[in-house]
Amino acid sequence: MAEPLDTFPRLLLHHSKVRGDRPAIREKDLGIWQTWNWSQVLEEVRALACGLAAQGFKRGMNLAIIGDNRPRLYWAMAATQALGGVPVPLYQDAVAEEMVFVLNDADVRFALVEDQEQVDKLLEIKERCPSLEHIIYDDPRGLRHYEQEFLQGYDELRALGRVRHEERPDFFLDAVAETRTQDVGIMAYTSGTTGKPKGVCLTHEALLAAARGGADFDRLAAEEEVLSYLPMAWIGDHLFSYCEALVAGFTINCPESADTVMTDMREIGPTFYFAPPRIFENLLTQVMIRMEDAGALKRWMFHAFMEVARRCGADILAGKPGIAFADRLLYWLGNIFVYAPLRNVLGMSRIRVAYTAGAAIGPDLFRFYRSIGINLKQLYGSTETCAYVCLQPDGEIKLDTVGKPAPGVEVRIADSGEVLVKSAAMLKEYFRRPDATAESIDGQGYFHTGDAGFFDDDGHLKIIDRAKDVGKLCNGAVFAPNYVENKLKFFSYIKEAVAFGNERDTVCAFINIDMSAVGNWAERRGIPYSGYTDLAAMDQVYDLIRECVETVNAELAQDSVLCHSQVRRFLILHKELDPDDDELTRTRKVRRGFIAQKYAPLIEALYSDRTSQFIETQVKFEDGRSGAISADIKIRDAAVYEPLAKAA
């Protein structure tokens, strides 16, 4: 009788048998793609698992994984799971101080990290992490003269594991046989938007339910190619780059570095792609910058055919009838001259399915990608639900919803408007937090997501905002800040926005300009500037941003629910919001409460008749130093419009 494929190590054994010579994972190193097939991956995982066991790693222990997407770090996940342990990925861009809490909370004894940068972080905080006993590094560059006894190179550990395998050839298979589907497969920490992060314990069973449900839904097969470049600590990467790869048997591709992602993506041509909205926002910004630098004819062609795409592109992609022959002909020409070359530049020529999640995506941004022929869809989920709650079926794409409940998932809306979820793909518990577990999962087994939403007439879920963020203006109108912010961020000149208005008469906003887009705009007009703070304070830039704000206001005036959420006053912050300054989470979600407290004088000024406000802000630099940035920030009014639709 065949052993059930109910844990990830068992799936790895399965793929090594049925497709052992097929590529499992690639990595670009020094400009050359290196490939490992499934048989080679199994050998690497086995050696690593045996090496960890030889060093004292046992069932039930937690192993921290820190670094960029690298084959050896993915193998560390599989090796840890094979031994009955739990991988705990941390964000590689987190400063050392942020890692202290997670390492201690998870009682981490072993850490496998990418390079010298991550080793230095752990050395800086090791005295405050008493349980941390072993640090293993992948890349030895710069570490030749590090002589701490607890430091060990990956190659040394692998060699130790191979010796142990020769001595005990059945050890690895016996360990895999002991793994259980109810074992915790990963501990993924929440982003900590409102407090200290919590360790979300997700079992093999839950992760496999999500991975198999998603793979079946989109008919993912072993021939797919995926580019793995998002943080390994994010549940989205874990589901799409690790879990679904082991379920479907497709190939993971790791880029050389963050700077080469676009080049590497064009070379690989992924067929399956996943990115949060900010990635799609950044890509669109790059496209618009390039078009500004293009010749007059190219600019004319781009804008002319994009107007055609906006009119009918999304409907053509969805296969809808009733599209005029003239529009179909123009779109066909546009595909030759604009859309196909653009998809090629973006590395999306071969994409069959693309998903976005992690935050709400603006309808305009969503429409842009679908209009040029990219099958971009939204999904809805959270760390606690294995990123698996709602999916958009092909042919039923709506720009303002996140789709229907995924197979095997039950979703209902509480009387308060909060979205509640029940499925097999849910957390087992919060690590050592029975209070938080009981608070999040009610007596009927529903997980309380904290998001506010409702179902439309077609059974599609529409997320309004975080339940705690949805408020009301003084006139009783609904205020959903995230919705307003996403409409603002559609413009390439706006990188980040924070809207305020709950229990106030009007809506006001902070704006972060996009340095590359606005810088390019300024240079083309011969406007000199010395840096972000200087550029953000210029009257010409304020005029540029005011046009964007007023365009959004005109669109909001047509929304029956949010017509009163038009932005009446705004300012451009003198610095970019930064995770290192605790203003954003590592997944770039706005920490609203923290920002409201830190920038209280600016909010007060927005709601007064002042036209400027002085502020001094503490900042953290990459080398750990602290400093301050001060500026007199201008405040501007924006035109608002009479609602064209009857307010709900």
Q: How many residues does the chain have?
A: 648
Task: Classify 55 as helix, strand or coil.
Answer: coil
As beta bridge partners, residue 25 has 36, 252
Q: What is the rounded CA–CA span in Å between residue 53 and residue 47?
A: 10
Q: Which two tokens stand for residue 167?
A: 């001595």
Q: Tell me how far the alpha carbon of residue 439 is from its chain's centroid.
A: 26
Ordered mean pLDDT values, 10 residues apiece, the chain (648 residues): 85 97 96 97 98 97 97 98 98 92 96 97 96 97 94 97 96 97 96 78 98 97 96 94 97 94 94 90 85 88 95 92 94 96 94 86 84 95 96 90 95 92 97 95 95 90 84 91 88 93 96 94 93 95 97 91 93 93 83 92 96 90 76 96 69
Q: What is the rounded CA–CA span in Å between residue 571 and residue 573?
A: 6
The CA-atom distances, in angstroms, between 244 and each of 11, 130, 219, 395, 487 are: 11, 36, 11, 23, 32
Quote the pLDDT of residue 293.
83
Quote the pLDDT of residue 347.
94
The CA-atom distances, in angstroms, between 7 and each of 183, 208, 233, 244, 528 are: 9, 8, 20, 12, 59
As beta bridge partners, residue 32 has 29
Quote the pLDDT of residue 646.
55
Quote the pLDDT of residue 357.
85
Quote the pLDDT of residue 648.
47
Q: What is the rounded CA–CA span in Å between residue 237 and residue 357?
A: 11
Mapping DSSP onto H, E and C, the string for 433-496 reads: CHHHHHHHECCCCCEEEEEEEEECCCCCEEEEEECCCCEECCCCCEECHHHHHHHHHCCCCEEE
Q: What is the rounded CA–CA span in Å between residue 554 and residue 559?
A: 9
Give 557-585 as a DSSP string.
TT-TTTTT--EEEEEE-SS---GGGTSB-
Quote the pLDDT of residue 194.
57
Tell the CATH superfamily of the 471-637 domain: ANL, C-terminal domain (3.30.300.30)
Quote the pLDDT of residue 2.
62
Q: Where in the chain is the domain with CATH 3.30.300.30?
A: 471-637
Residue 272's closest CA among 311, 312, 230, 218? 218
> 406: number of CA atoms within 13 Å, CB side?
27
Q: Which two tokens stand for residue 381?
A: 């989920």
Q: Where in the chain is the domain with CATH 3.40.50.12780?
A: 8-269
Contact 187, 88 (CB under 8 A): yes
Residue 216's closest CA among 410, 407, 423, 409? 407
Quote the pLDDT of residue 491.
87
* CATH label, 8-269, candidates 3.40.50.12780, 3.40.50.2300, 3.90.550.10, 3.40.718.10: 3.40.50.12780
